[in-house]
Structure 1
C-alpha cells in the first residue's frame, strides 16, 4: 500500500497473510464498497 505522509513523502507498506485481508477490507469501506458488492452469483 502506498500513502502520502503529512510532509508529502510517499511511503510504501507491505501487508502479508493475516493482516492483509482486514486492511483490504477497511480500504474497501473507505472506497464505499461493501463485501456484498464483491460477491458474484
Structure 2
C-alpha cells in the first residue's frame, strides 16, 4: 500500500462544495428571517 502523507490530498473540490453549502444555508436563513418578520408585521 502507498503511504499516506499528512496534508498531501487535494481538497479544492471539497472546499468549493462546503463554500456553496454554507452560502446556500446563509441565504436560506436570511430568507426565513425576512419571511418571519413580514408575517409578524402583516398578520398580527
Question: More helix per residue: 1 or 2?
Answer: 2
Which of 1 and 2 has greater Rg?
A: 2
Task: Give yes or no for TM over 0.5.
Answer: no
Question: More strand per residue: 1 or 2?
Answer: 1
Question: TM-score, length-normalised on structure 2?
Answer: 0.35
Higher-RCO chain (CA-CA 8 Å, sequence separation at least 6): 1
